[in-house]
């Protein structure tokens, strides 16, 4: 992937940057092209080798259509829930480095949901804040809206996500409860079977009763 001067790009874990210039340098006898990026959040300059664009995950900012996809993802009710801290932190760190805004959205959902039930460690709290910042800064630039307005949309999408997850969980619990109760109800409604030892006597009594009914009918 190549870029031109003026392109808005996303540098993983740094956020939105703008290509200020493209320069060719010779370092230790090796000639290489570099993108000079101005990181919008803190006005710092970063040099990225042209040959290593894919390696660092440099990409263009998302489009308007992709913004809608992003908000649908944020509100879909699907949340990764790793119980093991080490596994969770590694997965989330990999997603933050991937450069994909959709991976960052997964991190934002899972850590925000987790923070509702327990206190996050310092490292996870910092990762949560970073994920939210990266999403808000990119979307606000793409949509040309203030960060405050985009933050409101992000928070609203997350609330929809958690509400949807809660409804799905409640339906699953109710379904399991009904499945456990149903066999008990059927068992109570079914007539008690005649014990095998009493079955012949019951049949004989029924024959005698039927014969008596026929004699009464002839007598009348």
Q: What is the pLDDT of residues 62-96, one digit of tens each?
A: 998 899 999 999 999 999 877 788 889 999 999 99
Say whether pLDDT at 20 is over 70. yes
pLDDT at residue number 29 = 81
42, β-bridge pairs: none
pLDDT at residue number 220 = 47
Residue 42 lies in a domain: yes
Say whether pLDDT at 209 is over 60. no
**One domain, residues 23 and 76:** no
**What's the rounded Cα separation, in Å, for the pair 64 and 52?**
27
For residue 35, what is the domain's CATH number? 2.40.10.170
> 21-35, 77-91, 102-116, 201-215: lowest mean pLDDT where?
201-215
Residue 81 lies in a domain: yes
Return the percent helix, strand and coil in the chain, to nearest 5: 60, 15, 25
Residue 1 lies in a domain: no
**What's the rounded Cα separation, in Å, for the pair 199 and 181?**
31
Residue 211 lies in a domain: no
Band of pLDDT at residue 201, cut at 50, 70 and 90: low
Residue 191 lies in a domain: no
**One domain, residues 46 and 69:** no
For residue 136, what is the domain's CATH number? 1.20.58.1290
- Please name which of 11, 136, 142, 9 lies closest in space to residue 64, comparing C-alpha atoms: 142
Residue 49 lies in a domain: yes
Residue 202 lies in a domain: no
**One domain, residues 156 and 69:** yes
What's the pTM value of the predicted model, to 2 decimals? 0.73
**One domain, residues 120 and 82:** yes
pLDDT at residue number 26 = 84
Band of pLDDT at residue 208, cut at 50, 70 and 90: very low
| Contact (Cβ atoms closer than 8 angstroms) between residue 77 and residue 168 | yes
Residue 218 lies in a domain: no
Residue written as token pair 């059927």: 186
**One domain, residues 33 and 73:** no
Q: What is the pLDDT of residues 211-220, one digit of tens each?
A: 455 455 454 4
Q: What is the pLDDT of residues 138-155, one digit of tens each?
A: 999 889 999 999 999 999
User: By three-state DSSP, how is residue 10 classified?
Assistant: strand
**One domain, residues 124 and 83:** yes
**One domain, residues 72 and 96:** yes
Q: How many CA atoms, within 13 angstroms, populate the side-chain half-sphere of residue 147? A: 8
Q: How many CA atoms, within 13 angstroms, populate the side-chain half-sphere of residue 120? A: 18
- The parent domain of residue 26 ranges over 8-60
> 17-26, 125-134, 160-169, 171-180: lowest mean pLDDT where?
171-180
DSSP annotation of 81: -
**One domain, residues 154 and 68:** yes
**One domain, residues 91 and 40:** no
**One domain, residues 69 and 120:** yes
Mean pLDDT taken over the chain:
84
The string over 61-97, giving b where at least 16 C-beta atoms fall within 10 Å of a residue's C-beta and e elsewhere, is bbeeeebeebbebbbeeebeeeeeeeebeebbeebbe
- Domain total of the chain: 2
């Amino acid at each position: 992937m190549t870029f031109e001067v003026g392109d808005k790009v996303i540098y993983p874990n740094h956020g939105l940057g703008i290509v200020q210039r493209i320069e060719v340098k010779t370092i230790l006898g090796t000639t290489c092209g570099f993108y000079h990026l101005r990181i919008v959040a803190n006005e710092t300059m970063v040099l990225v080798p042209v040959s290593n664009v894919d390696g660092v995950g440099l990409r263009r900012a998302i489009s308007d259509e992709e913004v809608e996809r992003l908000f649908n993802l944020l509100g879909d009710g699907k949340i990764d829930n790793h119980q093991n801290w080490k596994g969770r932190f590694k997965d989330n760190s990999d997603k933050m480095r991937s450069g994909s805004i959709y991976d960052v959205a997964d991190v934002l959902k899972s850590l925000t949901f987790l923070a509702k039930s327990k206190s996050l460690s310092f490292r996870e709290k910092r990762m949560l804040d970073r994920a939210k910042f990266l999403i808000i800064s990119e979307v606000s630039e793409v949509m040309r809206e203030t960060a405050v307005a985009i933050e409101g949309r992000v928070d609203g999408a997350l609330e929809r996500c958690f509400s949807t997850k809660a409804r799905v969980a409640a339906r699953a619990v109710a379904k399991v409860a009904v499945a456990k109760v149903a066999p008990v109800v059927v068992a109570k409604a079914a007539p008690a079977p005649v014990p095998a030892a009493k079955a012949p006597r019951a049949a004989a009594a029924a024959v005698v009763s039927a014969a008596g009914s026929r004699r009464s009918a002839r007598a009348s």
